[in-house]
Structure 1
Amino acid sequence: MATKCCRGDYPPEACRLIEALLKGYSKYFSNDVLNSDGRRLLERLVRLLLETNPGLRRLVYRVRRNPTLEMILRLAEEFYLCDARALAAEALGLYQPYTYSVKSIYGRTQNDGWLLG
Structure 2
Amino acid sequence: MKLSRFPNRQILSVRIFWRNKNRLPGMEIGTIHHVQKKRWLGYRKGSQGTKGESLRMEAVRIRIADAALAKTHSIMYRVHSQTYGWGAWVKDGAVAGTTGKSKRMEAIQIKLVKK
**Length-normalised TM-score, structure 1:** 0.28
More strand by share: 2
More helix by share: 1
Larger-gyration structure (1/2): 1
